[in-house]
Amino acid sequence: MKKPDSRHHLMVVLFILFAFADYSCAQPPKFSFNKYAGTKGDTLRYRLLYPDYDTLRRYPLVIFLHGSGERGNDNDAQLKWGVMNFATDQAMVMHPALVVAPQCPDGQDWANISENEKTREITLKNSPTRPMELVIELIHNLVNTMPVDSNRIYITGLSMGGYGTWEAIERYPNLFAAAVPVCGGGDATRVVQIAHIPTWIFHGSEDSAVNPQYATDMATALIKAGAHPGLTMYPGTGHFSWLAAYSDPLMLEWMFRQHK
């Protein structure tokens, strides 16, 4: 029996490795790296998930606002929690959409509010933060340059991004078709102007970072204003309620059904 040629085996192994390497490199990342040049000479880093879209169709636009721990300028940390649930094969088949995950710079915030933790009062300040302004500019830019269905623009976010979600719909109530704030809080005195926006609120009942009462206060205020918000309070759950919220297929089904 002829002894196998070790050089032949080596060549086969190298061919397989290079083939897989080439294949891997040829696959585009699901979330592309992008920068938006703002009107004041600044930039907003963001990642964009887009479907293999038909140019004759228009697609929903989802804005995902990360939490405080993912701030920075690497344009990568904002993908750590939650947003990758929109990028699964099943989600992309069932709910093809443009998904934008902007990154808030260090030391800045999505929301410009004053917060009294004792009285649980959150008050919107006069003007938005610059990161929020950039997010809104980016939305309008994408509506003008990509196949976005302007009647299906959704916003969601966790923790700092949950506050940002409330902030966005309260400052720009005519822009969004639905909102999903997760473990955040908003200005309950302004809910009349957002009562028309379908909203599903998520929180953990044992959240020690963001008081769960913020969620119930906003839901109660919305109901008094004539709205019909959803409220999911996860029992025995702390601050990481987003793990369950973004893994809930019913939430995605609900959100993508909403239209202006």
Please state the rounded mean pLDDT for residues 229-251: 96
Is residue 80 within 8 A of residue 70, CB to CB? The reply is yes
- Write out the DSSP string of 41-104: S-EEEEEEE-----TT--EEEEEEE--GGG-SSSS-GGGSSSGGGGSSHHHHHHS--EEEEE-P
Sequence-distant (6+) residues with CB within 8 A of 195 are 222, 225, 226, 227
Q: List pLDDT tens digits, range 36-46.
A: 999 898 999 99
Q: How is residue 171 written in tokens? A: 């400052």
Give percent of the chain above pLDDT 70.
Answer: 88
Whole-prediction pTM? 0.87
Report pLDDT for 4.
Answer: 45
Strands 121-124, 113-116: pairing kind? antiparallel
Rounded CA separation 48/63 (Å): 10
Taken in order 247, 250, 256, 259, is the CA torsion positive or negative?
negative
Per-residue pLDDT tens over the stretch 197-212? 999 999 999 999 999 9
In CATH terms, 30-257 corresponds, of 1.10.1510.10, 3.40.50.2300, 1.20.58.1610, 3.40.50.1820, to 3.40.50.1820
| 188 dihedral zone (left: phi>0; alpha: psi -120 to 50; beta) | alpha
Per-domain residue ranges of the chain? 30-257
Mean pLDDT, to the nearest integer, of 84-107?
93
Choose among 90, 95, 168: nearest CA to 129: 168
Of these ranges, 18-22, 36-40, 139-143, the one predicted with the greatest mean pLDDT is 139-143
| pLDDT tens-digit readout, 51-69 | 876 778 899 999 999 999 9
pLDDT digits (tens, 9 = 90+) for 171-227: 999 999 999 999 999 999 999 999 999 999 999 999 999 999 999 999 999 999 999
Q: Which residues of 9-27 are buried (b: 16+ CB within 10 A; e: fewer)?
A: eeeeeeeeeeeeeeeeeee
Q: How confident is the model at residue 20 (pLDDT cuts 50, 70, 90)?
A: very low
**Residue 255 confidence (pLDDT) above 70:** yes
pLDDT at 27 over 80: no
Residue-level pLDDT at 50 = 86
| Highest-confidence segment of 10-19, 85-94, 142-151 | 142-151
Q: Which pLDDT belongs to residue 56?
A: 80
Q: How far apart are CA 114 and CA 131, in angstroms?
A: 17
pLDDT mean over 136-151: 96
Which phi and psi (to 5°) does residue 191 adopt? -70, -20
Q: What are phi and psi of 200, to 5 degrees?
A: -120, 120
* pLDDT, mean of residues 6-21: 40
Give the pLDDT of residue 6.
45
Neighbours of 91 (CB within 10 A): 18
In this structure, the dihedral spanned by the alpha carbons of residues 231, 149, 82 and 101, taken in order and rounded to 10 degrees, is: -130
Three-class SS state of 137? helix
Is residue 83 within 8 A of residue 45, CB to CB? The reply is no
Tokens of 89: 């094969």
Identify the band that residue 18 occupies on the pLDDT scale cut at 50, 70 and 90. Answer: very low
Q: Report the chain's mean pLDDT, rounded to a whole number.
A: 89
Please say whether the beta carbons of 75 and 47 come within 8 A.
Answer: yes
Q: Is the pLDDT of residue 8 over 50?
A: no
